[in-house]
Structure 1
Amino acid sequence: MKPFLDENFLLQNKTAQTLYHEFAKSMPIIDYHNHLPPDQIANDASFANLTQVWLYGDHYKWRAMRTNGINEKYCTGDAADFEKFQQWAATVPYTLRNPLYHWTHLELQRYFNIDTILNADTAKEIYDKATALLQTKEYSVWGLLGKMNVKTLCTTDDPTDNLEHHKKIAAGNCPIKVLPAYRPDKAMNVDDPAVFNAYVAKVEAAADVNVVSYGDYLIALKKRHDFFVEMGASVSDHGLEQVYAEDYTDAEIDLIFDKIRKGSKLSLEENHKIKSAMLVEFAKWDHSRGWVQQYHLGALRNNNARMLGKLGPDTGWDSIGDFSQARALSKFLNKLDSTDQLAKTILYNLNPADNELMATMIGNFNDGSSVGKVQFGSGWWFLDQKDGMIKQMNALSNMGLLSKFVGMLTDSRSFLSFPRHEYFRRLLCNMFGEEIENGELPNDIAWTGKVIQDICYNNAKQYFGF
């Protein structure tokens, strides 16, 4: 029987072990999409205890705790930090075969050198040891990122953000390159007229533009896009159920914008048309600046209206959706390609049933103008686990070039989430190792090792220009 989480964790043969330890393990990390708070990076924040760095904002853990019958006060409520940790520790033994079990113990090992299995009985010992370490300078935000060899990361930022924390980071001596990413989801959320018009007011203030018409709105958002360029941004991101690609005329969009500005609710057709128009404009801006655009597709958000009302979004009430993706995605990408305005693009898929769809879609628009111009992004959210990542890499291998893949990202709000890169790298090395030992691939360790290093780091460095 193999020991749990030893140095050869997930590496099922000698070749896989060689590929990981000699090629993948020491590669730096480019984390080109996450939700880390820029203010904590700017201030090199420290954490008072393990709960603050590990449980605050972590809806993955909250979902597991709720399923285990833990009261909400220990998740998002006002229970004391150690009480929250105790309830999480009591839940961990029940997460067997959930990725949380692996992530939890990887993070304890890599950051705190704790090999003890977390449960109700070991909670205080682990909490006290980790909390004591968190009081030292080595365990501030910069220290935690340094431990994982993070070189570059991109946060996720609203167009109205003044990016003051990024300014502070750029002006300071932060050892990690930290860049903003333009995320205009709220800018195109026309589902609720009151919410949309309140957001337009924020855009007006941020851009110092009086928005009367749709043209004014684009001018204001473009000014914010230009500001992000000035701040070093070269990446955008969109979180969508599906891509919108309805036919429309400029006159139609002007009328639709006027209608919602007057407080009237749009029809479904009008809703989709104005979203389609905005997506095209955003994509053209990205192309003009040489940016990489990312599309996270397929999440069915805010399913529990009662809990959404109590706690707000991003608190653990989302799931995989079964949206129709292919036709609209093809139409959208083709519209941009037809005028040679398709930027480098990464498509992330949340429904594993659509993996092969995405893996073949990217091939339609890889035109040789750049290496891996259109990418099938790594398994994300519910799929950034063993089975999900393997399925994504197998689909990409079978229908594209895994060797040109830009690899893993955390998509996380936690500074302790970076062992997910290690998890991915171990799975990647094991895939190659198994096929080499089975005679399905040649026993060329040097070349295979180079391909693995490219996937882990080099491809992303070249693709993003970091």
Structure 2
Amino acid sequence: MSFIHDNFLLETKQAQELYHNYAAKMPIIDYHCHLPPADIANDTVFENITKIWINGDHYKWRAMRTLGVDETYITGNASDKEKFAHWAKTVPYTMRNPLYHWTHLELARYYDVYDLLSEKTADAVYAKTAELLNSPGYSCQNLLKKMNVEVVCTTEDPIDSLDHHARLAQSDATVKMSTAFRPDKAIMIGSDAFNAYLDSLENVAEMDIRTYDDLKTALRKRIDYFHEHGCRLSDHGLNQISFEPATESEVKAIFSKKREGKALSRIEVLQFETAMLLYLAETYHELGWVQQYHLGALRNNNTRMLAQLGPDTGWDSIGDYSQAETLSKFLNALDTKDKLTKTILYNLNPADNEVMATMIGNFNDGTIKGKVQLGSGWWFLDQKDGMEKQMNALSNMGLISCFIGMLTDSRSFMSFPRHEYFRRVLCNLFGNEMHRGELPNDMEWIGKLVSDISYNNANEYFKF
């Protein structure tokens, strides 16, 4: 039997039946990713597996660096074949890291390659995948169809034109592409790049941004523009939610001070961030959007390598921020005005799983099924152990039956078997408890719950 087989990760007959009869057949709604919209709209064809699978994948890059692979063969000027060879040599050393599972699941699902990837098999795998990638049916849109992807939702800055999204929407493509509005650069007033970013925002909003009211107007113009292009989600990648109240006049003074190039205190930064987050969240509620908050990353730790390679190249880790109190105050400030829209909280620190799982229950008010969600395990936690811990916390302290399931949060067109991976883990959790008698042997009902978590809940929640 090959390593990847029909019952991979499915330990009992109940788990196998749940997966094969209920989860596997469901389409995929990938409601948060970082795929390049241009590649989807252009239906790009990748020349070889390095370009589609290794380039841009900081998960793989971190593993290769740990093994002692020189940067030349990671992000440097080595050939694509040389880079793949070094990744193949690394793979056997990744056992018990999720990369080992993902690697072989992705090779199997996209290319029917079931041999274990290693230094010995590298040449044959590289040749076979290159042949397939340059054959009909392996363009970006076809790769999405191959994985039964119904919708992908990319993530764009307010200054983005959304031209690629518009072009795809006007084409005869069957794959749908939406976007999420990510205005973090307009919130992080403590950044040295804040004023330069606002200069760029001025250009697309076609107005000067000299005052705080100007900034709100400019962002509202871009939100309306995104809304007109079908956007119904926002996304924020923050260390933690700020909550330091200030008067409107104080916030205006803080903004003016920054635009004049003056230094701000830590309190002033928090006051501005709080005001801006509340303004945006109330706007999302007005338009009926879903808001997403990715919390807990400690980014750009290695300044030497950041200077060489830039952000999102593998120098980030889990942060240990205090989350509960300010998050509670932020959500409560919105709820008090009845302006809390559908909200997803993604947690990166596993120590905070129970904090977040209980937090969502404070603001699920009966108006919408699963209005406030604990998002799936993400980044360092989107692996078997992380998924299980997230789902156990959600089950113990909320209703996993209302969970909207998995997303890739990926920059790779080969990452969609992670939905299969998640569904196998999900079915194994339920199936094993059925096998032990901890859940009733009601296959029809539990199968429905599995189908809902795999697809139906997200379909109902987002209404793409």
Question: Within 2, Cα distance between the matches of 1:241 and 1:268?
Answer: 15
Partner residue, 2:261: 263
The amino acid across from 2:7 in the alignment is N
Partner residue, 2:163: 164
Deviations 1:77-129 (CA, angstroms, capped at 9, x unpaired) = 11110000011001001000000000000000000000010001100100000
Deviations 1:30-50 (CA, angstroms, capped at 9, x unpaired) = 000000000000000000101
Partner residue, 2:324: 326
Question: Within 1, Cα distance between the matches of 2:344 and 2:81?
Answer: 40
Question: Within 2, Cα distance between the matches of 1:307 and 1:262?
Answer: 32
Question: Within 1, Cα distance between the matches of 2:427 and 2:336?
Answer: 38
Task: Return 5+ residue gaps in structure 1 as ranges.
Answer: none
What value does the CA root-mean-square deviation take over the aligned residues?
0.7
Where do 1:54-453 residues align within 5 Å? 54-193=53-192, 195-453=193-451
Question: Within 2, Cα distance between the matches of 1:137 and 1:368?
Answer: 49
Cα offset, 1:137, TM superposition = 2.4
Cα offset, 1:3, TM superposition = 5.3
Question: Within 2, Cα distance between the matches of 1:3 and 1:311?
Answer: 38
Runs of 4+ deviating beyond 3 Å? none
Deviations 1:214-250 (CA, angstroms, capped at 9, x unpaired) = 0001100110000000000000000000001111110
Does 2:3 match 1:18? Answer: no
SS in structure 2 at match of 1:155? strand
The amino acid across from 2:343 in the alignment is T
Deviations 1:346-388 (CA, angstroms, capped at 9, x unpaired) = 0000000000000000000000000000000000000000000
* 166-175 or 401-410: bigger deviation: 166-175
Cα offset, 1:178, TM superposition = 0.3
The amino acid across from 1:173 in the alignment is D
The amino acid across from 1:19 in the alignment is L
SS in structure 2 at match of 1:52? helix
Partner residue, 1:38: 37
Question: Within 1, Cα distance between the matches of 2:258 and 2:119?
Answer: 53
SS in structure 2 at match of 1:137? coil
* 164-173 or 147-156: bigger deviation: 164-173
Question: Within 2, Cα distance between the matches of 1:175 and 1:75?
Answer: 35
Aligned positions, number = 464
Cα offset, 1:4, TM superposition = 2.1
Question: Within 1, Cα distance between the matches of 2:278 and 2:72?
Answer: 43
Question: Within 2, Cα distance between the matches of 1:8 and 1:241?
Answer: 38
Question: Within 1, Cα distance between the matches of 2:286 and 2:355?
Answer: 28
Q: Do 1:41 and 1:142's aligned partners in 2 also have CA atoms closer than 8 Å?
A: yes
Cα offset, 1:464, TM superposition = 0.5
Q: Do 1:192 and 1:265's aligned partners in 2 also have CA atoms closer than 8 Å?
A: no
SS in structure 2 at match of 1:156? strand
Deviations 1:56-88 (CA, angstroms, capped at 9, x unpaired) = 100000000000100111111111100000110
Cα offset, 1:192, TM superposition = 2.8
Question: Within 2, Cα distance between the matches of 1:464 and 1:114?
Answer: 35
SS in structure 2 at match of 1:239? strand
Question: Within 2, Cα distance between the matches of 1:344 and 1:360?
Answer: 16
Q: Do 2:237 and 2:294's aligned partners in 1 also have CA atoms closer than 8 Å?
A: yes
Deviations 1:238-280 (CA, angstroms, capped at 9, x unpaired) = 0000001111110111011011101122111111110111110
Question: Within 2, Cα distance between the matches of 1:233 and 1:133?
Answer: 34
TM-score (normalised: structure 1) = 0.99
Cα offset, 1:338, TM superposition = 0.2
SS in structure 2 at match of 1:181? strand
Does 2:3 match 1:4? Answer: yes
Q: Do 1:214 and 1:258's aligned partners in 2 also have CA atoms closer than 8 Å?
A: yes
The amino acid across from 1:45 in the alignment is T
Question: Within 1, Cα distance between the matches of 2:320 and 2:289?
Answer: 29
Question: Within 2, Cα distance between the matches of 1:187 and 1:42?
Answer: 27
Question: Within 2, Cα distance between the matches of 1:386 and 1:113?
Answer: 23
The amino acid across from 1:269 in the alignment is I
The amino acid across from 2:67 in the alignment is N
Task: Return 5+ residue gaps in structure 2 as ranges.
Answer: none
The amino acid across from 1:134 in the alignment is L
Q: Do 1:50 and 1:130's aligned partners in 2 also have CA atoms closer than 8 Å?
A: yes
SS in structure 1 at match of 2:180? coil
The amino acid across from 2:217 in the alignment is I
Question: Within 2, Cα distance between the matches of 1:417 and 1:328?
Answer: 34
